[in-house]
């Protein structure tokens, strides 16, 4: 009998070291859903202190019901954000709060715990 070594016989979990850092950056981030009700919009994106307010960083996806959705990992703490609807910055009416940025403009606030 000739044994082929091109297909190893299964994965052995004991081959993986179990030493994981207790506080890894991945553990701190939590997937957060952002929903924007803008059924007539051509494009919606999410900007905030987590992406340097870059409208190209997080384009949102239009859902069948006309809302726009994106899920991103956020570290725990408070984050400032806005929706950019067809190029215009807008507050999130369902935000947990309203804060002001360094230019004293109103921005939406989310707390991730």
We report the CATH number of the domain holding residue 105 as 2.60.40.10
Confidence of residue 4 (pLDDT cuts 50, 70, 90): very low
What is the domain count for the chain? Answer: 1
Q: Residue 7's pLDDT is what?
A: 46
Q: Look at residue 4 and tell me if it is in a domain.
A: no
Compute the distance between CA of residue 29 and CA of residue 113 in angstroms, rounded to an integer: 9
Using DSSP, state whether 108 is helix, strand or coil: strand
Q: Look at residue 21 and tell me if it is in a domain.
A: no
More confident residue, 18 or 78: 78
Q: Residue 28's pLDDT is what?
A: 75
Q: Look at residue 11 and tell me if it is in a domain.
A: no
18-74 confidence digits (pLDDT tens): 555 555 545 678 999 999 999 999 999 999 999 999 999 999 999 999 999 999 999
Q: Look at residue 23 and tell me if it is in a domain.
A: no
Q: Look at residue 61 and tell me if it is in a domain.
A: yes
Which residue in 54, 91, 85 sits closest to 72, CA to CA?
54
Query: Tokens representing 70?
Result: 């994106």
Query: Tokens representing 30?
Result: 């939590």
Helices and strands, counts by H and E, the chain: 1, 8
User: 72 with 58: CB under 8 angstroms?
Assistant: yes
Tokens 């309203």 belong to residue: 98
Q: Look at residue 91 and tell me if it is in a domain.
A: yes
């Amino acid at each position: 009998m000739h044994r082929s070594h091109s297909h190893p016989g299964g994965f052995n979990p004991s081959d993986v070291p179990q030493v994981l850092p207790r506080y890894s950056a991945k553990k701190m981030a939590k997937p957060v859903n952002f929903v924007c009700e803008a059924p007539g919009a051509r494009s919606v994106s999410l900007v905030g202190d987590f992406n340097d307010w870059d409208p190209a960083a997080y384009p949102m996806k239009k859902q069948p019901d006309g809302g726009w959705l994106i899920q991103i990992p956020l570290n725990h703490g408070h984050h400032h954000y806005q929706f950019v609807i067809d190029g215009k910055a807008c507050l999130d009416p369902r935000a947990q709060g309203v804060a002001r940025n360094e230019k004293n403009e109103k921005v939406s606030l989310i707390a991730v715990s």
